[in-house]
Copies of this chain bind each other. A is one copy, B any other.
Amino acid sequence: MKRERVQIELGDRSYPILIGQDLLTDADLIASSVEARSVLIVTNTTVGPLYAGRLKQSLKDRRVAELALPDGEQHKTLESIGRIIDALVDARMNRDAAVIALGGGVIGDMAGFAAACYQRGIDYIQVPTTLLSQVDSSVGGKTGVNHPKAKNMIGAFHQPRCVIADTSTLSTLSDREYRAGIAEVVKYGLIYDRPFFDWLESNADAFAAREPTAVIYAVRRSCEIKARIVAADEREHGIRALLNLGHTFGHAIETASGYGNWLHGEAVAAGMVMAADMSSRLGWLSAQDRDRATRLLTAFGLSTVPPRIGATEALGLMGMDKKVLDGRVRLVLLREIGNAEVVGDYPKAALDATLQHHFG
């Protein structure tokens, strides 16, 4: 099976993403990817039992400690960071040790943030085991945890030394989590790459069925697109905000429902439908493109209908979102499939109509 490699170009913080089947059992690949002689594997109690064993076997001559945190977004807290730091201190890890994040985005965010903070920064390596984390959190260097009142409020920019995206780990993912990852893949087509969106339409069945060739291509293309956007704007001052398509609406959904009741990708899918709806109300996006977006998400089994939390409630929740400048909610809207823009000065009426229509 073909393996892919996407190089993330960030000067002296550049790193590769390796994508393919059965990477974790490839001891040579692991040996050449992990420089540190001492590592702490941070995982959770779901993923650890499945994959920590084969990773450890491939790490053979390293000094390895392991920490399995409870599974779930509700544990993405400062307290968990304290537990990771405790494990690093207990294992007497030095500045030249590395943290390996084995799990989904939650584990990657926490392990990366702990690595950023431990002794003011040690290396970390991501081994994302969900589709969402393979296509999203493995690129960009964002790490962090949630605050009880707001997502991702606490964190750091810290680039991994290397990402090992073993697509065979996706076989143990639930259908629901796999679908949630697909939402972010569709996003890359919508914001940046119409031919990729076309490819997703044509290969929806194979991709949904997790056929390795389709998965590897989708992961590679997603990472390439995200990498191109992030490289142009590492600290998120400009076009990187395009990656937030559907996220501002989505955050309102996630927050109103309580973290974890809507998976992040599910909320983003519904949020992208809302962004498409608003874009079309503004006369930016054709009805045809809007409907193609909704149809593709539906074809992948994603819900395009947010909960009826009420427009006012939703607006309040969006107001605490990080993507606010001077009290004005900036949104990512679509000109057409493959072409998005960050907008701050849209007519308030279009936003209200979209909120009313979807949130009630």
Choose the segment among A14-22, A111-119, A241-249, A272-280 that binds chain B (4+ C-beta atoms closer than 8 Å): A111-119
Choose the segment among A149-157, A165-173, A214-222, A334-342 that binds chain B (4+ C-beta atoms closer than 8 Å): A149-157
Cα of A321 to Cα of B162 in the assembled complex, Å = 28
Q: Are A149 and B89 in contact (CB-based, < 8 A)?
A: yes
Q: Are B121 and A153 in contact (CB-based, < 8 A)?
A: no
Q: Are B118 and A153 in contact (CB-based, < 8 A)?
A: yes
Whole-angstrom distance between the Cβ of A338 and the nearest chain B Cβ: 29
Cα of A90 to Cα of B149 in the assembled complex, Å = 9
Whole-angstrom distance between the Cβ of A310 and the nearest chain B Cβ: 21
Q: Are A89 and B157 in contact (CB-based, < 8 A)?
A: no
Q: In the assembled complex, which residues on chain B have CB atoms less than 8 Å from the CB atom of A147? A: 85-86, 89
Q: Are A325 and B96 in contact (CB-based, < 8 A)?
A: yes
Cα of A150 to Cα of B150 in the assembled complex, Å = 30
Q: In the assembled complex, which residues on chain B have CB atoms less than 8 Å from the CB atom of A82? A: 78
Q: In the assembled complex, which residues on chain B have CB atoms less than 8 Å from the CB atom of A149? A: 89-90
Q: In the assembled complex, which residues on chain B have CB atoms less than 8 Å from the CB atom of A95? A: 322, 325
Q: In the assembled complex, which residues on chain B have CB atoms less than 8 Å from the CB atom of A353? A: none
Q: In the assembled complex, which residues on chain B have CB atoms less than 8 Å from the CB atom of A78? A: 78, 81-82, 85
Q: In the assembled complex, which residues on chain B have CB atoms less than 8 Å from the CB atom of A116? A: 156
> Restricting to A136-176, which residues have a CB under 8 Å from any CB of B?
142, 144, 147, 149-150, 153-157
- A2 interface hit (Cβ, 8 Å): no
Q: In the assembled complex, which residues on chain B have CB atoms less than 8 Å from the CB atom of A31? A: none
Q: Choose one: B86, B120, B153, B324; the contact of A156 (CB below 8 Å).
A: B120
- A92 interface hit (Cβ, 8 Å): yes
Whole-angstrom distance between the Cβ of A159 and the nearest chain B Cβ: 13
What residue of chain B has the Cβ atom nearest to residue A114's Cβ?
B154
Q: Are A85 and B120 in contact (CB-based, < 8 A)?
A: no
Cα of A294 to Cα of B155 in the assembled complex, Å = 44
> Restricting to A243-264, which residues have a CB under 8 Å from any CB of B?
none
Q: In the assembled complex, which residues on chain B have CB atoms less than 8 Å from the CB atom of A121? A: 156-157
Cα of A150 to Cα of B88 in the assembled complex, Å = 11
What residue of chain B has the Cβ atom nearest to residue A92's Cβ?
B320
Residues 212-233 of chain A: 1 if any B CB is under 8 Å from the residue's CB, otherwise 0?
A: 0000000000000000000000
Cα of A354 to Cα of B142 in the assembled complex, Å = 46
Q: Choose one: B92, B94, B118, B325; the contact of A325 (CB below 8 Å).
A: B94
Q: Are B324 and A150 in contact (CB-based, < 8 A)?
A: no
* Contact A154:B85 (CB < 8 A) given known A120-B142, A120-B144: yes
Whole-angstrom distance between the Cβ of A164 and the nearest chain B Cβ: 24
Q: In the assembled complex, which residues on chain B have CB atoms less than 8 Å from the CB atom of A322? A: 95, 119
What residue of chain B has the Cβ atom nearest to residue A155's Cβ?
B120
Taking Cβ atoms with an 8 Å cutoff, the residues of A that contact B are 78, 81-82, 85-86, 89-90, 92, 94-96, 116-121, 142, 144, 147, 149-150, 153-157, 320, 322, 324-326
28 CB contacts below 8 A, A to B, read A78-B78, A78-B81, A78-B82, A78-B85, A85-B154, A86-B147, A89-B149, A90-B149, A92-B320, A94-B324, A95-B322, A95-B325, A96-B325, A96-B326, A117-B144, A117-B154, A117-B155, A118-B153, A118-B154, A119-B153, A119-B155, A119-B322, A120-B142, A120-B155, A120-B157, A121-B156, A121-B157, A156-B156
